[in-house]
Amino acid sequence: MGNYDPDPKMKFTFGLWTVGNPGRDPFGEPTRDKLPLAKILDMLGEVKAYGVNLHDNDAFPIDASEKEKAEIMKEFKKGMKDNGLVCAMATTNLFTDPVFKDGAFTSNNAQVRAYAIQKTMRSMDIGAELGAKIYDFWGGREGIESDATKNPVDAVKRFREAINFLCEYSIEQGYNYKFVFEAKPNEPRGHMYFAVTGSYLAFIQTLDHPEMCGVNPEVAHEHMAGLNFVHQVAAAIEVGKLFHIDLNDQEFGRYDQDFRFGSANLKHAFFLVKLLEDYKYNGPRHFDAHAYRQSNYDDVKEFAKGCMRTYMILKEKAAHWNNDAEIQGMVKLINVKDAGLEKLTKKFSKASAQKLLATPLSRSQLASAPLPYEKLDQLTMEIIMGVR
């Protein structure tokens, strides 16, 4: 058995709100005491995480005075230093306070929109002081229950205006942030705008500064909608936009569960880790998950260690798959090459089109080529199950 300790090169991070989650749900009160900031940072140090992420109000109360903010900032920096942590990502809480009940950047009220931008600027100042290089946008309240209440075209325009403004703020302040957008189809709103990662990949291209913007896909968010998360991440990788990732787990089609990474859909988790490792993803790997409501803080530590350990185990299994001679032989077999035809279809020209039209290709012969996918999948499953 290998060593599955968290590797700092993997940049495993946790939000203050993840290990600090007190176990509240829509039907019940918290089951754990709220942990003070210093204790959360100590816990992350103890489990050997690489870094910490925050929403402004996870650490700095929404009504904190400048003096209180300065004291918390000092405590935060000390906690990071004592525990060898970096601050990898910061974000704004644009969803808890009642002011955001009908959206932040997409609110129908221009004053609420302005307040949301102002709050984000202040939170960007905090993140930059803590050293964060990534700034996340999760539109928690950007959506509707009824389309009678908001024009969905205006919503996109308003969101774009806010992001363009904030990109300029980051540049003007010299913060050098990379912005990342995190899609979710529903919860807490009935319907949220930018429902899937692909929505943001298209949106980014319409911004004034597309080069500083990428995505932060989350396993649970695509699985809630019954989608294949690996494919969403692959789409982001292929256009060079995977700047951050939120790892957790989720039963398909259920409410927002935020389970420990790999605990519900191990096969998908395997292919996700394989994709990230094969394409040398180098950003933070953030476990945006929380422990079961039944757990006490000792068990929360087991939860955090479990997220990282599962990733390390799956990373080893992905390498095993890549080095398995029988599997690689099959991969070669199913990827039929034809240098002449590949050259012909690589780029259109009148001549290549004519040549392609004149090429005899036997449909029945092509259809009869062997595709032993049952065998390939079984070999894969045996690696995942640990018998191969």
Give the per-residue SS3 of 114-173.
HHHHHHHHHHHHHHHHHCCCEEEEECCCCEECCCCCCCHHHHHHHHHHHHHHHHHHHHHH
* Position 142 contacts ligand GCO (CB under 6 A): no
User: Which of 125-133, 151-159, 285-293, 375-383 is the region at the interface with Mn ion (rule: CB under 5 A)?
Assistant: 285-293
Are the C-beta atoms of 344 and 355 separated by less than 8 Å? yes
Residue number with CB closer to Mn ion (56 or 246): 246
Q: Where are the alpha helices (DSSP H) in 279-338?
A: 297-322, 325-334
25, 33, 58, 82: the active-site residue: 58
3-state class (DSSP) for residue 322:
helix
Q: How far is the CB of 118 from Mn ion (least distance, A)?
A: 23
The token pair at 236 is: 């982001």
Are the C-beta atoms of 261 and 6 separated by less than 8 Å? no
- Identify the bridge partners of residue 52 per DSSP, sorted by sequence position: 14, 87
* Position 182 contacts ligand GCO (CB under 6 A): yes
Residue number with CB closer to Mn ion (247 or 318): 247
Tell me the C-alpha to C-alpha distance, in Å, between residue 322 and each of 7, 277, 327, 335, 388: 20, 11, 8, 15, 13
Q: How far is the CB of 386 from ligand GCO (least distance, A)?
A: 31
* Position 288 contacts ligand GCO (CB under 6 A): yes
Residue number with CB closer to Mn ion (102 or 218): 218
Q: For Mn ion, what does the binding mask look like between residues 184 and 223, x meaning CB under 5 A?
A: ----------------------------------x-----
Q: How far is the CB of 303 from Mn ion (least distance, A)?
A: 16
Residue number with CB closer to ligand GCO (254 or 320): 254
3-state class (DSSP) for residue 25:
strand
Q: How far is the CB of 130 from Mn ion (least distance, A)?
A: 19
Q: Residue 142 binds which one of Mn ion, ligand GCO, none, with CB within 5 to 8 A depending on kind?
A: none
* Position 256 contacts ligand GCO (CB under 6 A): yes
5, 7, 42, 55: the active-site residue: 55
Q: How far is the CB of 15 from ligand GCO (least distance, A)?
A: 7
* Position 249 contacts ligand GCO (CB under 6 A): no
In the annotation, is 55 catalytic? yes
In the annotation, is 102 catalytic? no
Q: List binders of ligand GCO among 80-139 (CB under 6 A).
A: 91, 136, 138
Which residues 6+ apart lie within 8 Å of 332 measured at CB?
A: none
Q: Within its chain, how far is the Cα of 189 from the centroid? A: 19
Nearest one of 274, 227, 235 to 252, comparing CA atoms = 227
Are the C-beta atoms of 167 and 208 separated by less than 8 Å? yes
Q: Residue 91 binds which one of ligand GCO, Mn ion, none, with CB within 5 to 8 A depending on kind?
A: ligand GCO
Residue number with CB closer to ligand GCO (4 or 95): 95
Nearest one of 220, 251, 215, 250 to 233, comparing CA atoms = 215
Are the C-beta atoms of 230 and 272 separated by less than 8 Å? yes
- The one among 11, 113, 158, 184 contacting ligand GCO by CB under 6 A: 184
- How far apart are alpha carbons 187 and 74 in whole angstroms? 35
* Position 246 contacts Mn ion (CB under 5 A): yes
Residues that bind ligand GCO (CB under 6 A): 55, 91, 136, 138, 182, 184, 218, 246, 256, 288
* Interacting residue ranges for Mn ion, rule: CB under 5 A: 218, 246, 288
Q: Catalytic amino acids?
A: 55, 58
